[in-house]
Amino acid sequence: MVLRRYIPILIVGFFGSFTLFGWFINSETVEAFINDDATQWYDIIASFAIFLGALNLLKLQFLKVLKRQSGWQYSVVAIVSFFAVFIIGFFMRGAFIVDIPATDIQETYFTQKSAEEAVVQLKDSGVDATIIPAPWGAHIQTEGGLFKWMFDNVFTPLSATMFALLAFYVASASYRAFRARNFEATLLLLAGIIIMIGRVPAGGLISSWMIMYMLVLVLGIIVNTYFRHRQIVFGVVALGLLGVTLLGSSMGWPIDQPSVFYLPDLQEWIYSVPNLAGARAIMIGIGLGIIVTSLRYIFGLEKSYIGDQ
Protein backbone atom coordinates (compact mmCIF):
# COMPACT_ATOMS: atom_id res chain seq x y z
CA MET A 1 0.00 0.00 0.00
CA VAL A 2 2.83 2.38 0.89
CA LEU A 3 4.74 1.57 -2.28
CA ARG A 4 1.66 2.06 -4.43
CA ARG A 5 0.37 5.30 -2.94
CA TYR A 6 2.80 7.35 -0.88
CA ILE A 7 6.15 6.75 -2.61
CA PRO A 8 4.88 7.95 -6.04
CA ILE A 9 3.34 11.00 -4.34
CA LEU A 10 6.64 11.77 -2.58
CA ILE A 11 8.61 11.39 -5.80
CA VAL A 12 6.26 13.68 -7.74
CA GLY A 13 6.15 16.22 -4.92
CA PHE A 14 9.93 16.31 -4.48
CA PHE A 15 10.87 16.64 -8.14
CA GLY A 16 7.96 18.99 -8.84
CA SER A 17 9.01 21.31 -6.02
CA PHE A 18 12.69 21.06 -6.97
CA THR A 19 11.96 21.91 -10.59
CA LEU A 20 9.62 24.76 -9.64
CA PHE A 21 11.85 26.44 -7.07
CA GLY A 22 14.93 25.74 -9.15
CA TRP A 23 14.00 28.67 -11.37
CA PHE A 24 14.53 30.95 -8.36
CA ILE A 25 17.89 29.47 -7.28
CA ASN A 26 21.09 30.85 -8.83
CA SER A 27 23.06 27.62 -9.12
CA GLU A 28 24.66 26.04 -12.18
CA THR A 29 23.96 22.54 -10.86
CA VAL A 30 20.28 23.23 -10.36
CA GLU A 31 20.04 25.01 -13.71
CA ALA A 32 21.72 22.06 -15.47
CA PHE A 33 19.25 19.68 -13.85
CA ILE A 34 16.23 21.70 -14.95
CA ASN A 35 17.44 22.39 -18.50
CA ASP A 36 19.08 19.04 -19.24
CA ASP A 37 18.39 16.18 -16.83
CA ALA A 38 14.73 16.95 -16.15
CA THR A 39 14.07 17.43 -19.86
CA GLN A 40 15.73 14.12 -20.72
CA TRP A 41 13.75 12.28 -18.05
CA TYR A 42 10.59 13.87 -19.43
CA ASP A 43 11.45 12.60 -22.93
CA ILE A 44 12.09 9.10 -21.54
CA ILE A 45 8.78 9.01 -19.68
CA ALA A 46 6.96 10.42 -22.71
CA SER A 47 8.50 7.67 -24.86
CA PHE A 48 7.10 5.02 -22.53
CA ALA A 49 3.73 6.80 -22.65
CA ILE A 50 3.78 6.63 -26.46
CA PHE A 51 4.64 2.92 -26.24
CA LEU A 52 1.73 2.28 -23.85
CA GLY A 53 -0.56 4.32 -26.05
CA ALA A 54 0.36 2.20 -29.07
CA LEU A 55 -0.32 -1.00 -27.12
CA ASN A 56 -3.67 0.37 -25.94
CA LEU A 57 -4.57 1.28 -29.53
CA LEU A 58 -3.81 -2.26 -30.71
CA LYS A 59 -5.75 -3.75 -27.79
CA LEU A 60 -8.88 -1.73 -28.55
CA GLN A 61 -8.70 -2.42 -32.28
CA PHE A 62 -8.12 -6.16 -31.80
CA LEU A 63 -11.08 -6.37 -29.40
CA LYS A 64 -13.25 -4.55 -31.90
CA VAL A 65 -12.30 -7.03 -34.62
CA LEU A 66 -12.75 -10.11 -32.42
CA LYS A 67 -16.17 -8.97 -31.21
CA ARG A 68 -17.22 -7.92 -34.75
CA GLN A 69 -18.36 -4.54 -33.50
CA SER A 70 -19.68 -1.85 -35.82
CA GLY A 71 -16.94 -0.66 -38.18
CA TRP A 72 -14.54 -3.52 -37.36
CA GLN A 73 -13.31 -3.47 -40.96
CA TYR A 74 -11.70 -0.09 -40.31
CA SER A 75 -9.99 -1.58 -37.27
CA VAL A 76 -8.43 -4.20 -39.55
CA VAL A 77 -7.07 -1.42 -41.75
CA ALA A 78 -5.71 0.38 -38.66
CA ILE A 79 -3.96 -2.76 -37.38
CA VAL A 80 -2.43 -3.61 -40.76
CA SER A 81 -1.30 -0.02 -41.25
CA PHE A 82 0.24 0.09 -37.78
CA PHE A 83 2.36 -3.01 -38.32
CA ALA A 84 3.27 -1.96 -41.87
CA VAL A 85 4.60 1.39 -40.70
CA PHE A 86 6.31 -0.24 -37.70
CA ILE A 87 8.12 -2.79 -39.88
CA ILE A 88 9.11 -0.24 -42.51
CA GLY A 89 10.41 2.20 -39.91
CA PHE A 90 12.35 -0.25 -37.72
CA PHE A 91 13.39 -3.15 -39.94
CA MET A 92 13.57 -1.81 -43.50
CA ARG A 93 16.14 0.79 -44.44
CA GLY A 94 14.23 1.63 -47.61
CA ALA A 95 16.72 4.29 -48.73
CA PHE A 96 19.74 3.33 -50.88
CA ILE A 97 21.31 6.32 -52.60
CA VAL A 98 23.02 5.82 -55.97
CA ASP A 99 25.68 8.52 -56.17
CA ILE A 100 27.25 9.59 -59.46
CA PRO A 101 30.32 11.66 -58.44
CA ALA A 102 31.01 12.96 -61.94
CA THR A 103 27.62 14.68 -62.22
CA ASP A 104 26.69 15.23 -58.54
CA ILE A 105 23.45 13.36 -59.26
CA GLN A 106 21.93 11.19 -56.53
CA GLU A 107 18.92 8.91 -56.88
CA THR A 108 17.28 7.01 -54.04
CA TYR A 109 15.91 3.47 -54.33
CA PHE A 110 13.72 1.52 -51.93
CA THR A 111 15.75 -1.71 -52.00
CA GLN A 112 19.43 -2.51 -52.27
CA LYS A 113 18.77 -4.87 -55.17
CA SER A 114 17.16 -2.14 -57.28
CA ALA A 115 20.05 0.18 -56.42
CA GLU A 116 22.60 -2.46 -57.47
CA GLU A 117 20.78 -2.99 -60.77
CA ALA A 118 20.88 0.75 -61.42
CA VAL A 119 24.63 0.82 -60.67
CA VAL A 120 25.25 -2.08 -63.06
CA GLN A 121 23.35 -0.31 -65.83
CA LEU A 122 25.31 2.89 -65.22
CA LYS A 123 28.65 1.07 -65.28
CA ASP A 124 27.68 -0.68 -68.50
CA SER A 125 27.11 2.79 -69.94
CA GLY A 126 30.56 3.86 -68.77
CA VAL A 127 29.36 5.89 -65.80
CA ASP A 128 30.95 5.30 -62.40
CA ALA A 129 28.43 5.10 -59.52
CA THR A 130 28.39 3.95 -55.91
CA ILE A 131 25.68 2.92 -53.45
CA ILE A 132 25.38 4.87 -50.21
CA PRO A 133 22.93 3.28 -47.74
CA ALA A 134 21.09 5.85 -45.64
CA PRO A 135 22.11 5.66 -41.96
CA TRP A 136 19.64 4.03 -39.58
CA GLY A 137 17.54 6.73 -37.96
CA ALA A 138 18.15 9.17 -40.77
CA HIS A 139 16.56 6.74 -43.24
CA ILE A 140 13.05 7.83 -42.24
CA GLN A 141 13.79 11.41 -43.38
CA THR A 142 15.80 10.63 -46.50
CA GLU A 143 14.16 12.15 -49.56
CA GLY A 144 13.03 9.41 -51.91
CA GLY A 145 13.25 6.74 -49.22
CA LEU A 146 10.44 4.28 -48.59
CA PHE A 147 9.35 5.71 -45.23
CA LYS A 148 9.52 9.33 -46.45
CA TRP A 149 7.66 8.38 -49.62
CA MET A 150 4.94 6.70 -47.56
CA PHE A 151 4.69 9.73 -45.27
CA ASP A 152 4.47 12.23 -48.14
CA ASN A 153 2.18 10.21 -50.42
CA VAL A 154 -0.07 8.37 -47.96
CA PHE A 155 -0.13 10.01 -44.55
CA THR A 156 0.01 13.64 -45.70
CA PRO A 157 -2.89 13.34 -48.21
CA LEU A 158 -4.98 11.51 -45.58
CA SER A 159 -4.28 14.28 -43.05
CA ALA A 160 -5.19 16.93 -45.60
CA THR A 161 -8.45 15.08 -46.31
CA MET A 162 -9.32 14.98 -42.61
CA PHE A 163 -8.69 18.71 -42.23
CA ALA A 164 -10.72 19.39 -45.37
CA LEU A 165 -13.66 17.50 -43.85
CA LEU A 166 -13.31 19.56 -40.67
CA ALA A 167 -14.22 22.64 -42.70
CA PHE A 168 -17.81 21.37 -43.00
CA TYR A 169 -18.04 20.80 -39.25
CA VAL A 170 -16.67 24.30 -38.66
CA ALA A 171 -19.27 25.73 -41.03
CA SER A 172 -22.05 23.89 -39.19
CA ALA A 173 -20.79 25.03 -35.79
CA SER A 174 -20.43 28.59 -37.06
CA TYR A 175 -24.02 28.60 -38.28
CA ARG A 176 -25.25 27.55 -34.83
CA ALA A 177 -22.97 29.97 -32.98
CA PHE A 178 -23.60 32.97 -35.24
CA ARG A 179 -27.37 33.00 -34.85
CA ALA A 180 -28.20 36.48 -33.59
CA ARG A 181 -30.18 35.47 -30.49
CA ASN A 182 -28.65 38.06 -28.16
CA PHE A 183 -26.16 40.92 -28.14
CA GLU A 184 -23.11 38.70 -27.70
CA ALA A 185 -24.15 36.38 -30.55
CA THR A 186 -24.87 39.39 -32.77
CA LEU A 187 -21.44 40.85 -32.01
CA LEU A 188 -19.82 37.50 -32.82
CA LEU A 189 -21.82 37.31 -36.05
CA LEU A 190 -20.72 40.79 -37.20
CA ALA A 191 -17.08 40.18 -36.31
CA GLY A 192 -17.12 36.85 -38.14
CA ILE A 193 -18.68 38.38 -41.27
CA ILE A 194 -16.17 41.26 -41.30
CA ILE A 195 -13.17 38.95 -40.90
CA MET A 196 -14.39 36.43 -43.49
CA ILE A 197 -15.15 39.10 -46.11
CA GLY A 198 -12.15 41.29 -45.28
CA ARG A 199 -9.66 38.44 -45.72
CA VAL A 200 -10.73 37.49 -49.25
CA PRO A 201 -9.70 39.51 -52.36
CA ALA A 202 -13.31 40.50 -53.03
CA GLY A 203 -13.44 42.27 -49.68
CA GLY A 204 -10.79 44.75 -50.81
CA LEU A 205 -13.03 45.81 -53.71
CA ILE A 206 -15.86 46.90 -51.40
CA SER A 207 -15.63 50.66 -50.84
CA SER A 208 -15.75 52.02 -47.31
CA TRP A 209 -18.49 54.39 -48.52
CA MET A 210 -20.73 51.45 -49.39
CA ILE A 211 -20.29 50.19 -45.83
CA MET A 212 -21.20 53.63 -44.50
CA TYR A 213 -24.38 53.70 -46.60
CA MET A 214 -25.29 50.26 -45.26
CA LEU A 215 -24.69 51.43 -41.70
CA VAL A 216 -27.07 54.34 -42.27
CA LEU A 217 -29.77 51.88 -43.34
CA VAL A 218 -29.03 49.70 -40.30
CA LEU A 219 -29.34 52.78 -38.13
CA GLY A 220 -32.73 53.44 -39.70
CA ILE A 221 -33.83 49.90 -38.82
CA ILE A 222 -32.72 50.40 -35.21
CA VAL A 223 -34.54 53.73 -34.94
CA ASN A 224 -37.69 52.19 -36.42
CA THR A 225 -37.49 49.35 -33.86
CA TYR A 226 -37.54 51.73 -30.90
CA PHE A 227 -39.64 54.69 -32.13
CA ARG A 228 -42.03 53.22 -34.73
CA HIS A 229 -42.41 56.67 -36.33
CA ARG A 230 -42.07 57.00 -40.09
CA GLN A 231 -41.11 60.68 -40.12
CA ILE A 232 -38.36 60.18 -37.54
CA VAL A 233 -37.00 57.15 -39.39
CA PHE A 234 -37.12 58.96 -42.73
CA GLY A 235 -35.37 61.99 -41.26
CA VAL A 236 -32.57 59.91 -39.71
CA VAL A 237 -31.99 57.93 -42.92
CA ALA A 238 -32.15 61.01 -45.14
CA LEU A 239 -29.73 63.00 -42.98
CA GLY A 240 -27.37 60.00 -42.80
CA LEU A 241 -27.34 59.44 -46.55
CA LEU A 242 -26.88 63.15 -47.19
CA GLY A 243 -24.01 63.37 -44.69
CA VAL A 244 -22.21 60.37 -46.21
CA THR A 245 -22.68 61.78 -49.73
CA LEU A 246 -21.33 65.23 -48.80
CA LEU A 247 -18.38 63.72 -46.95
CA GLY A 248 -17.56 61.42 -49.87
CA SER A 249 -17.76 64.27 -52.37
CA SER A 250 -15.42 66.42 -50.29
CA MET A 251 -12.86 63.56 -49.92
CA GLY A 252 -12.98 62.37 -53.54
CA TRP A 253 -14.53 58.97 -52.77
CA PRO A 254 -11.31 57.03 -51.95
CA ILE A 255 -12.04 53.31 -51.69
CA ASP A 256 -10.08 52.83 -48.45
CA GLN A 257 -11.07 55.99 -46.62
CA PRO A 258 -12.24 56.38 -43.90
CA SER A 259 -10.11 53.38 -43.01
CA VAL A 260 -12.31 52.46 -40.04
CA PHE A 261 -15.02 51.39 -42.52
CA TYR A 262 -12.66 49.67 -45.01
CA LEU A 263 -13.13 45.92 -44.47
CA PRO A 264 -9.47 44.78 -44.89
CA ASP A 265 -8.28 47.39 -42.38
CA LEU A 266 -11.20 46.76 -40.04
CA GLN A 267 -10.72 42.99 -40.01
CA GLU A 268 -6.98 43.45 -39.38
CA TRP A 269 -7.79 45.65 -36.37
CA ILE A 270 -10.29 43.10 -35.04
CA TYR A 271 -7.76 40.30 -35.51
CA SER A 272 -4.86 42.23 -33.96
CA VAL A 273 -6.56 44.03 -31.04
CA PRO A 274 -9.76 42.44 -29.64
CA ASN A 275 -8.85 38.94 -30.79
CA LEU A 276 -5.30 39.20 -29.43
CA ALA A 277 -6.59 40.57 -26.12
CA GLY A 278 -9.01 37.65 -25.81
CA ALA A 279 -6.29 35.14 -26.72
CA ARG A 280 -3.97 36.59 -24.07
CA ALA A 281 -6.74 36.40 -21.48
CA ILE A 282 -7.27 32.75 -22.35
CA MET A 283 -3.52 32.08 -22.10
CA ILE A 284 -3.43 33.75 -18.69
CA GLY A 285 -6.31 31.52 -17.58
CA ILE A 286 -4.50 28.47 -18.92
CA GLY A 287 -1.35 29.52 -17.04
CA LEU A 288 -3.27 29.89 -13.78
CA GLY A 289 -4.85 26.49 -14.36
CA ILE A 290 -1.41 24.95 -14.92
CA ILE A 291 -0.16 26.52 -11.67
CA VAL A 292 -3.12 25.20 -9.69
CA THR A 293 -2.84 21.73 -11.22
CA SER A 294 0.92 21.64 -10.58
CA LEU A 295 0.44 22.61 -6.94
CA ARG A 296 -2.19 19.90 -6.55
CA TYR A 297 0.31 17.35 -7.86
CA ILE A 298 3.12 18.68 -5.65
CA PHE A 299 1.03 18.63 -2.46
CA GLY A 300 -0.43 15.21 -3.26
CA LEU A 301 -4.02 16.42 -3.70
CA GLU A 302 -4.19 15.07 -7.25
CA LYS A 303 -3.80 11.27 -7.30
CA SER A 304 -5.16 10.35 -10.72
CA TYR A 305 -1.71 9.31 -11.95
CA ILE A 306 -1.65 6.46 -9.38
CA GLY A 307 -5.14 5.25 -10.23
CA ASP A 308 -7.13 7.12 -7.55
CA GLN A 309 -10.09 9.25 -8.58
Interval 151-160: pLDDT, tens: 999 999 999 9
pLDDT computed for residue 297 by the predictor: 82
Q: What pLDDT does residue 156 have?
A: 92
Determine if residue 25 is left, alpha or beta; phi over 0 gives left, psi from -120 to 50 gives alpha, anything else beta: beta
- The model carries a pTM of 0.59
Task: Give the pLDDT score at 204.
Answer: 86
Report pLDDT for 238: 93
The contacts of residue 46 (CB under 8 Å, 6+ apart) are: none
What pLDDT is stored for residue 157 in this prediction?
93
pLDDT of residue 309: 52
Give the per-residue pLDDT at 226. Answer: 83
Angle at 76 between CA 70 and CA 78, to 5 degrees: 105
Q: Are 98 and 122 in contact (CB under 8 A)?
A: yes
Q: How far apart are CA 37 and CA 43, in angstroms?
A: 10
- pLDDT for the residue numbered 58: 92
pLDDT value, residue 1: 59
What's the pLDDT at 229? 82
Residue range 189-207, pLDDT digits in tens: 788 888 888 888 888 889 8
pLDDT at site 180: 62
In single-letter form, the type of residue at position 88 comes to I
Closest CA relative to residue 196, chosen from 171, 225, 230, 173: 171
CB atoms within 10 A of CB 168: 9
Please state, in angstroms and as integers, the Cα–Cα distance from residue 104 to each residue in 130, 148, 288, following that order.
12, 22, 56
Instruction: Report the pLDDT value the prediction gives residue 25, as an integer from 0 to 100.
Output: 80
Query: What pLDDT was estimated at residue 77?
Result: 93
Flag residues of the chain having pLDDT under 70. 1-4, 177-180, 305-309
Distances (CA, A) of 299 to 14, 183, 295: 9, 44, 6
146 closest CA partner among 101, 87, 202, 98 = 87
Q: How many residues does the chain have?
A: 309
Reduced to 3 states (helix: H, G, I; strand: E, B; else coil), residue 97 is strand
